[in-house]
Structure formats: C-alpha cells, structure tokens
Amino acid sequence: MSPERHPGDARLFTLANIQSVRITENPFRRDPDFSLQRFAERAFGIFQEPVKDIVWRLKPEAAAAARDFLFHPSQTMEEQSDGSLIVRFRAGGLVEMAWHVYTWGGDLEVLAPEELKRLCAKSRVRIGDAP
C-alpha cells in the first residue's frame, strides 16, 4: 500500500513483496496517539478490517490443545459441561480466520459471525481430507 492511498493510517508490508528500498528525505513521524497493541488487536494475523465479535466452539477432543492456544489477545474461554470450549474475541481478518479454522479440521465450529460461517462453508475440504 502506498502512503498516498492510505494517508495517516498504519500500514503492513510483507517482506516477500518488497523489491527494493531507498532512502528519502521524507521523515517518518509517529502519531503520539498510536498504540501498536490496539492496532494489532484489530486483526487476526495481519489483515486489518473492521472488527467483528468472533465465537468458536472447539469439540472436547480438541479442547485440551485449544486451552493452551492464544488465538487472539482479547480472547476469553468458557469451559462447557460437555468438555467443549467456547472461544470469544473481537477482531477483523475473516479470510485469515477461515484459513486458521481449517487447520483445526472438523474440531472447530464457527458460531459467529454469520459472515465467517458462510466463508468457511464455501469450502468443505479440510486438512487431511482427500481431494
């Protein structure tokens, strides 16, 4: 992204896409109100988009592993009587979340938002499934 397209907004760049670097006479001045923590918490991974209320249910067989997993800095976890685990957080980056959901195979169910449910439903292929 170029500064001209997103003036005043923090930007992320992936190193693999940087072809060259040059020194300019334009100094960078950080906004004194900018918080890297708040900026990072808006996203799941690197994608920045409006935050959504995310709710996932992990089946009992995956709950033990999930308890030790940091899905997002704002997450809360709720133990369920059946041994499953409800994970809640607020973040943007639904495409990256969908990729992450697939890594849990069928052990992670998206409860909210509907937009993420639809995104995950577009592909029924899960890690380990034969094509």
The DSSP result for 30-51, as a single string, is --TT--HHHHHHTBBTTB----
Instruction: Give the span between the Cα atoms of 40 and 46, in whole angstroms.
Output: 8
Q: pLDDT class for 5, splitting at 50, 70, 90?
A: low
Query: Residue 7: pLDDT above 90?
Result: no
- Predicted confidence (pLDDT) per residue in 38-94, tens digit: 877 777 877 778 899 999 999 999 999 999 999 998 999 999 999 999 999 999 999
Buried b (16+ CB within 10 A) or exposed e, 21-54: eeeeeeeeeeeeeeeeeeebbbbbbeebeebbeb
pTM above 0.85? Answer: no
| Count of domains observed in the chain | 1
Contact present, 126 and 102 (Cβ < 8 Å): yes
Q: Which domain holds residue 91?
A: 1-131
For residues 131 and 85, the model is more confident at 85
CATH number at residue 14: 3.30.70.240
pLDDT at 56: 97
